[in-house]
């Protein structure tokens, strides 16, 4: 029995383009505030992905790093073993697309993903850049999703996944939904520090790993959330 919660950040050297570190820091802070000891593991793309982690994070990146990241993850196999063991995963933007069967490369060419989520992505007509707000699937019991998206991807969801949310503002998957989940895997286009804007999503990942959690002071999280949601939803 290991004593601390192991948070594994996959390939920060390739896939950490915009504030992705924020998700790691938020999970760490929210676990530590509850007295849960945390171990953070940064896995460079030249190193094997450990399969004994509790929560895995993978972030966004440019086209070439995305293709390299997918190749390395497929060759490595560590993430697949970890998911089979019951670990949870938050995959963001380029990392989200990698989890599917296929995504669009530099010239829009199809590139094979690693098949952990039943989704397929391609390159859209135009870049979606801006604030996003969305109502989360009721089964997860989470408040409105808020964040920032910046991508050209269009993602089709297969029957093996459930949409994470329905968009109020923004593009998301491109069909009125944003992100998806299956088992303990969550994928989203909300890049960078999505968990800073959605602490309840961070707590969901923590609960999947350690069980029920006590309340903590969310003053600064709530003030930021309210300001951002007001900015995009109020006329």
CB 68 within 8 A of CB 108: no
Q: Does 16 bind other proteins (CB under 8 A)?
A: yes
Q: Does 13 bind other proteins (CB under 8 A)?
A: yes
Q: Does 20 bind other proteins (CB under 8 A)?
A: yes
Residue closer to other proteins by CB (options 163, 192) is 192
Which listed range, 23-31, 75-83, 116-124, 205-213, lies at the site for other proteins (CB under 8 A)?
23-31
Q: Which residue has the tokens 């600064």?
A: 220
**CA–CA distance, 196 with 214 (Å, rounded to integer):** 18
Residue closer to other proteins by CB (options 71, 137) is 71
180 is catalytic: no
Provide the residue count of the chain: 235
Write each residue from 200 to 229 as x if it is in contact with other proteins (CB under 8 A), else as -, in one continuous string. Answer: --------------------xx-xx--x--
42 is catalytic: no
Beta-carbon contacts of 230 under 8 Å, excluding residues fewer than 6 positions away, are: none
Residue closer to other proteins by CB (options 92, 204) is 92
Write each residue from 35 to 74 as x if it is in contact with other proteins (CB under 8 A), else as -, in one continuous string. Answer: ---------xxx---------------xxxx--x------
Residues within window 122-151 making contact with other proteins, judged by CB under 8 A: 129-131, 148, 150
Which of 80, 151, 180, 191 does the annotation list as catalytic?
191
Q: Tell me the CA end-to-end span of the chain in Å, nearest whole number.
A: 52
Q: Does 88 bind other proteins (CB under 8 A)?
A: no
Which listed range, 6-14, 78-86, 135-143, 203-211, lies at the site for other proteins (CB under 8 A)?
6-14
Question: Which residues are part of the catalytic machinery?
Answer: 93, 191
| Chain positions contacting other proteins, by CB under 8 A | 12-14, 16-22, 25-26, 29, 44-46, 62-65, 68, 129-131, 148, 150, 191-193, 196, 220-221, 223-224, 227
């Amino acid at each position: 029995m290991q004593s601390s919660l192991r948070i594994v950040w996959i390939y920060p050297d390739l896939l950490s383009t915009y504030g992705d570190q924020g998700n790691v820091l938020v999970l760490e802070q929210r676990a530590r505030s509850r007295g849960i000891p945390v171990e953070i593991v940064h896995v460079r793309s030249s190193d094997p992905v450990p399969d004994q982690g509790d929560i895995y994070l993978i972030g966004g990146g440019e086209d070439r790093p995305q293709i390299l990241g997918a190749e390395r993850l497929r060759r490595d196999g560590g993430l697949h073993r970890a998911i089979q063991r019951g670990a949870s995963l938050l995959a963001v933007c380029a990392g989200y697309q990698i989890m599917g069967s296929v995504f669009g490369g530099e010239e829009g060419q199809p590139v094979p993903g690693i098949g952990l989520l039943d989704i397929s992505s391609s390159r859209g007509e135009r870049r979606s850049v801006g604030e996003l707000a969305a109502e989360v699937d009721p089964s997860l019991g989470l408040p409105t999703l808020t964040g920032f998206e910046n991508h050209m991807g269009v993602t089709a969801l297969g029957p093996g996944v459930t949409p994470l949310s329905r968009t109020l503002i923004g593009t998301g998957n491109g069909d009125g939904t944003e992100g998806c989940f299956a088992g303990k895997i969550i994928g989203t286009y909300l890049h960078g520090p999505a968990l800073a804007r959605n602490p309840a999503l961070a707590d969901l990942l923590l609960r999947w790993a350690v069980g029920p959690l006590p309340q903590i002071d969310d003053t600064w999280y709530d003030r930021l959330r309210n300001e951002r949601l007001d900015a995009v939803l109020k006329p």
